[in-house]
Amino acid sequence: MPQKPELTSKDLFALLVSQVSEFVIVLVDATGLFISWNPGVESCLGYTAEEFIGKEFDLLLPYSDRACGAGERELKEATEKGRASDTRWLMTKNGERIWVDGVTLALRDNSGQLLGFGKILRNVTARLGMQQELETANQKLQGITHELERSNEDLEQFARIASHDLSAPITSTRWLVDALRMRHGSRLDPDGQLMVEQISQSLERMADLVDAVLAHALVGTSAIAGSELADAEDAFESAIKNLRKDIELAKAAISHDPLPRLQIEENALAQLFQNLLSNSIKYRRTDVPLSIRVTAVREMSMWKIGVHDNGMGIEREWFERIFQPFQRRHGLEIAGTGLGLATCKKIVTRAGGNIWVESKLGSGSSFFFTLPGKTA
Ligand code: ADP
């Protein structure tokens, strides 16, 4: 029976190197000549062993690198520091440029005598291409985001200016209609008086709309998700104060859990409470006393705040739509602009949270919003 040859670990290692074709693994002698070859040289660079062994180390460098002594510098750095980066452009035998990632190591004997150099590298041109594509895509994305932010700012500025400029003629027309009613009202016949009344109501509605557009446009002009924590108790109290008359008129019973400190600008939070509470008051049922409860539940790093009422409720198909600007489920029989919930959504999303409704028609609604925050 033939004897099995004894392989040392050195032999096994040489076998491994001789079979790796994805990596270029070569030896260079101390004078800078290639003295060994592995199949990676042929698969990555196109040279056979005969064409490669004994050639100058900088055979693989592009002409411009060769001319400025890049090969020598690399060997000098490896000699001085033990290793040198070999991440660079190389030329294949047929003149193609490839981007390689690798290292050149100085090889020394036990006494420190330099024996030569080992080079290990691989072709990463495809990765470079992908990186470049990624960078280009990233730059494009940044451009689009920038453009979007700019056009958003333009739009908000336009809405602010338009609504601000519209306020002045509305105010003066309201003043003129009041004067007309007071000074000349008695001279108008009933038809004329009704017309004046209708003009006055339309002006009120127009003024409400302009205010609502302005409030919506102003969301985000200050840092909503400000670094300061807002005390939700204070914001809630300020909303209640602004709605005092409506609350008294509706005889609403309002209760609330202890409210936390939330990562949002306080005025924006007060506006959020005010819009939700005023809706609960507006869309109440006349057959039951209005009751509103505000709850606060901690969910990981967020707080979930709920505003629950026992009012008219909303059909499921309106759950999403009512948060879009000018989407009203109710008609003009209940005054409104259709912007209250859209403004709430803008406030909450800009502060990093979510807002939604759960409701049953005829028995009440629960509006929930989440915001990052702390326990009070
Ligand atoms: P507005 O109240 O000015 O119409 P909103 O954006 O605040 O505008 O609300 C949009 C619509 O959502 C309202 O027209 C109303 O139909 C419905 N809605 C909002 N809040 C409630 C509520 N608490 N109960 C019932 N319906 C509501």
For residue range 281-322, what is the model confidence (pLDDT) as tens digits? 999 999 999 999 999 999 988 999 999 999 999 999 999 999
**Which of 329, 360, 368 has most ligand 1 atoms within 8 Å of CB, for mutation?**
329
From 284, 288, 314, the mutation candidate for ligand 1 (largest count of ligand atoms within 8 A of CB) is 314
Q: What's the pLDDT at 86?
A: 85
Q: How confident is the model at residue 149 (pLDDT cuts 50, 70, 90)?
A: confident
Structure tokens at 253: 């019973």
- Residue 78, both tokens: 């490896």
Q: Which of 205, 276, 279, 320 to mutate to test the pocket of ligand 1 (most atoms within 8 A of CB)?
A: 279
The pLDDT, as a whole number, for residue 223 is 67
**pLDDT recorded at residue 258:** 95
Residues ≥6 apart with Cβ < 8 Å to 264: 224, 225, 226, 230, 347, 351, 371, 373
Q: Are the C-beta atoms of 331 and 206 separated by less than 8 Å?
A: no
pLDDT value at position 179? 94
Which residues does 186 contact at the CB level (< 8 Å), separation at least 6? none
Q: Whole-structure pTM over 0.75, yes or no?
A: no
Token pair listed for 342: 């859209």
The closest residue, in CA terms, to atom 14 on ligand 1 is 328
Which residue is associated with the tokens 């336009």? Answer: 158
CA of 318 to the centre of ligand 1 (A): 10
Q: Among residues 102, 70, 96, which one has the least CA distance to residue 83?
A: 102
Q: Give the pLDDT score at 226.
A: 65
Q: Which residue has the tokens 């001319």?
A: 67
Q: Which two tokens stand for residue 370?
A: 């989440």
Ligand 1 centroid–CA 216 distance in Å is: 15
DSSP three-state, residue 85: strand
Find the 81 Cα to ligand 1 centroid distance in Å. 73
The binding-site residues of ligand 1, defined as CB within 6 angstroms of any ligand atom, are 279-280, 282-283, 309, 311-314, 322, 328-330, 336-342, 365
41-63: per-residue pLDDT in tens?
999 999 999 999 999 988 999 99
Confidence of residue 375 (pLDDT cuts 50, 70, 90): low
